Structure formats: C-alpha cells, structure tokens
Amino acid sequence: RGDLQRQINALSSQITDPQAALKAIHQERMAAARQQRIDTKVKREVERYQRAQAWHEKQQNHIHYLGDAAGFKPAAADDVSDAERLNRLGLPAYSNAAELAAGMGITLNELRFLTYSNQVSRVCHYQHFAMQKKSGGTRLISAPMPRLKRLQYWVFDTILQPLELTEQAHGFVTGRSIVSNAQPHLAQKVVINMDLKDFFPTVTYPRIKGTFAQLGYNHEVASLLALLCSEADTQTVEMDGQRYYLNSTSRRLPQGAPTSPALSNVICRTLDKRLQGLATKHGFAYTRYADDLTFSGADTAAVPALLYGAKATVTAEGFNVHPDKTRIMKQGSKQEVTGIVVNQHLSVDNKKLKQFRALLFQIDKDGYADKSWGNGYNILASIKSYAHYVRMVNPEKGSQFLQQIAAIQQKHGKPNVAMKFTNTQFRERAAQGQLPLESMRVAAAKPQPTLDDTIQHRDVLPQVEAALGLSVPEAVETAPESTPATTPETPSQPQGLVSTLMSLLRGKS
C-alpha cells in the first residue's frame, strides 16, 4: 500500500491540470468501450456466419426434420446400413439422405420436399379419385403426382424388383400372371377363394419401414424410403378460397402407387409360406394374386379346418379376411380363379366373351363412336388389351379376336382420341435416375450462405470480412462511432501519464 501511495504522489506532482487529466481518462475509457463493442459485434458476426456455414454443410448430407406429421428422426452417427447384406441381395447401399438422393439422381432438397409432411399443408403429392369395382362399389385410388411417381418407379426397379418372392405370389410378378395363378387349381373337386379386406391400407408405415430395415438399410434411409412409398390419411378442407390438406400421423400403402403391389408381395412372404404349409398339411394347392387367396384340392372334408386355419393365419400376419367374399366352389358348379374358369380346362367366362363379340360386331358396323370397354379412355387400346388377355387363356380364340380388331382398324382407322403420356419411357428414365420429363420441376439445391445473408451489423462488415479472410482490404475504414478518441496532449502532461493513472485506478501496480 505504501508503494502505491508513493506512485500516486509522484504522479500527482507531475499533473498541473487535474481536470484535463480526468477528461483524458474519461475519453480513453469511452474509446476502449467503443472498441470492445466493435470487437463483440465482429465476434458475433463471425460466429453467426460460421454457424450458418456449418448448418448448410450438415444439411447437404442429412435430413433433420420432415414436418410434424412425418414422425421422422435422423439417424445417429454410428447408424450405418448393412452393406454386406445389401450386396448379397444385389441392392445399392446408402447410409444417409445425401447418398440416397444422389442414387436417385435428384437433389437433397427434392427428396426433402417429397417426404415432408405437416399436419396442415397446402401441398398434396397424390391425386384422389374413385374407381368402380367389378363386384360393385368403389375403390379409392391415390395416384402419385409425376415428381413422386418418378421416385417410386426408381424404388420399384432398383430395390423391390430384384428381391426374391415366394412361388405362391403371382400378382404383379414378372413372368407370372392370372393364368399361372389359375393353373394349379385346374380340375379340382373343390376350389376356395378368400379375399383380404382393405389389403393395401392394412399395410401401415411401421411395416413398410420395417421391410426396408430388414433388407439392411439403416434408420434414416429406411424411413425416407417408407415415406416415399406410403401416404398419410388425408382430409381436404377449403377456406377463404385456399385448399388445405389435413394429414394424419398414420400412414399406409396407397392404392395406385407403382411400389404398392411389390411391397405387399415382399411383406406377404411369411404369410405365403405359412398358408402353403397349411395347404400342404390338408393336401391342397395354394396361390395368391395380390389380395386374392385361392386353395384347391380333393378332400372336401378338410375344408372347415382349412378355412379356420387360413383365417387364423391371416389375422396373425396382420391382415383381415373379407367376411362376404369367401367362396367355396365345388366341381358341379362353375369354378373361377381370378376371372378364369378352371373346371376342366382354362377358359374365359362365356358371358363376357359374348359381350365382347357383340361389341366387336357393333364397332365393325358403326365405328368407334359411343363405344366403351372397361375403364380405358381409348376404345381401340381397351379391346386389344382384352383380346391379348383372352389369347393368354385360349390362344385360338384370342388370335381370332386380334384378327377381327386388325380388320376393324383397317376399315375405321384409329379412334380420334387425344394421346396421353405413356409410362414406359417415364419409368425407364426414372429407374436410371434421369429426369423423365424435360418440363418437370426439381427443387434446386440450397445455395451456400454468404456473409450478406447472415450479417446484421453492416457497420463492421470490413472487420468481419478481414476476420474471416474473405477479403483483404488495403485499408480498413472504421465507422465514425468506432474511431478512438485522441487523448489531448498538454505541455504539463507527460507521455503515458493517462495510461499509468488508468492502470492504478484498475488496481494494477
């Protein structure tokens, strides 16, 4: 304390104008405070810019949030796909959203857009309409919009198509058809047909995600694939001229997506094996075409036990048997499997054939006007399709129909129908990760943030640029506020006197 007092006394003897000294001290304090504010601004701006850069870099590889109705959570850093298992299955290995998007040939932003789901949204990736069922009633179709359909085709061709299915599955399987589905049940004493109620809607999001996870994909990729292949339960509301879609958090397999049949076949592999075991136990044959289950055999006494076991197995596998669509067809009555009569030989229903012959006669006589067959918009394409179907079952009759259609086309030409875009080229290009349509929109990748995007205090822009090394100005001009005040020099005030006093006032010796 004595030393400090002696220093103060020595300094006091040097000061001739105490007011000027105090004023100089005040000015130096103000200048230091201003500089500290500038340094704080620069530091915060630098940190803000670096955070924006880090977040942008993070978003280039992962998706962290997909809306309050998607239920999506990003994968942990150590959660990677099982590359060995995927390679054994002949499937591409992806461990994050960026790799998946690159494989699909799209931007990460496009993948984020097509999987994002809020409980209230103004965007819907499906078009809904009702279609008449052959058995009566209507079926709600959810047709994906082109941008989503493109990715679903990619998933189907790249991931689902290579998977091995059970030999009992005949629907939507390459090389199999309704004919191969009916063949095992030809000339049997009893044929049993069962229908699965609400087949696609019964397959929920957890089952879809679990299917992709079992293939070897990690949580993040399996979740994204499941979101692409599922649809939320949606209600449409209009308010103030704007349409809103209210999305439920529950999702299901959409009726109308190109991935739905293949996914259902993969999910039903265990069901098919169990039902085949049950059928073999009772001496029956078993096949499945989508949601149609067919059993046939010679032991009519085993039918009750077979029905009981089949219903219990279906329920255990998470499906439901339609209570009104189980048919038991014995040898004395018409036995039909997926529209094909199987009593003695494979044949098409005679009533339907008569209607088709009558239609061909009317078209040949009057032309295409006001004629229709099935749900097709193009009458010529519809009758050709049915003729090819008949030829699959009965080559002789089918060939005769095709010859009649060729004569009709030669006589009347082609119907005046606006051609719609076909799926063939669309699907091929989508499967290759290419843009199917030149006019199709794709969400662009987010640009890297710039300093102009993040800065809030432009008065320190030159200092921030210098701190980040973004530019090296020749001379950094400081704003008027940041110019340090110059300490007035007086003849009676030695150099460094103010600094010494400041140090003493701060308790430094």
Q: For 429-477, how does the pLDDT look when each residue is reduced to its tens digit (9 = 90+)?
A: 888 888 887 778 788 888 889 988 999 998 988 988 999 888 654 544 4
Residue 194 falls within a domain, yes or no?
A: yes
Both 190 and 331 in one domain: the answer is yes
pLDDT band (50, 70, 90) for residue 483 = very low
Cβ count within 10 A of residue 365 = 8
Cα–Cα dist 368/293, whole Å? 38
Identify whether 433 is part of a domain.
no
> At CA 392, angle to CA 390 and CA 398, rounded to 5?
40
Q: Is the pLDDT of residue 499 over 80?
A: no
On whether both 172 and 245 belong to a single domain, the answer is no
Nearest Cα residue to 228 out of 131, 319, 103, 138: 103
Residue 283 one-letter amino acid: G
Question: Is the pLDDT confidence value at 335 over 80?
Answer: yes
Q: Are residues 316 and 197 in the same domain?
A: yes
Nearest to 67, CA basis, from 107, 144, 104, 122: 122
> Do residue 96 and residue 239 come from a single domain?
yes
Boundary residue ending a domain (345, 368, 392): 345
Q: How many domains does the chain have?
A: 4
Q: Residue 317: inside a domain, yes or no? A: yes
Closest CA to 92 of 386, 336, 431, 478: 431
In a domain, 115, yes or no: yes
* pLDDT per position as a tens digit, 402-414: 999 999 999 988 8
Task: Kindly state the percentage of the chain with pLDDT values over 70.
Answer: 88
Confidence grade of residue 488 (pLDDT, cut at 50, 70, 90): very low
User: What range defines the domain where residue 192 resides?
Assistant: 168-203+268-345
pTM above 0.85, yes or no: no
> Is residue 341 located within the same domain as residue 310?
yes
Give the pair of three-digit tokens for residue 67: 């809306």
Predicted local distance difference test score (pLDDT) of residue 494 = 47
How much is the pLDDT for 479?
47
- Whether 452 is in a domain gets the answer no
pLDDT (mean) for 274-283? 97
Statement to judge: residues 56 and 153 lie in one domain? no
Let me know if residue 352 belongs to a domain. yes
Strands (E), 242-323: 242-252, 284-289, 292-297
The stretches of 413-490 forming alpha helices (DSSP H) are: 423-431, 451-454, 461-468
Domain end, chosen from 225, 252, 279, is at 252
Given a contact cutoff of 8 angstroms between Cβ atoms, the answer to whether 217 and 225 are in contact is: yes
Together in a domain, 295 and 235: no
Do both 126 and 158 map to the same domain?
yes
Domain of 335: which CATH number? 3.30.70.270
231-239 and 242-252 beta bridge pairing: antiparallel
Neighbours of 426 (CB within 10 A): 17
Please indicate, yes or no, if residue 368 is contained in any of the structural domains: yes
Whether residue 400 lies inside any domain: the answer is: yes
Distances (CA, A) of 254 to 72, 131, 199, 213, 230: 19, 14, 10, 20, 6
Strand 120-121 and strand 242-252: the pairing is: antiparallel
pLDDT at residue 117 greater than cutoff 60: yes
Judge if 384 and 239 occupy the same domain. no
pLDDT score, position 40:
94
Summarize pLDDT for 41-67 with one digit per residue, the tens.
Answer: 999 999 999 999 988 888 887 788 898
Residues 155 and 292 in one domain: no
237 and 97 in a common domain: yes
Among residues 450, 385, 188, 226, the alpha carbon closest in space to that of 306 is found at: 188
Are 193 and 320 in the same domain? Answer: yes
Q: What are the tens digits of pLDDT across the range 76-87? A: 777 899 999 999
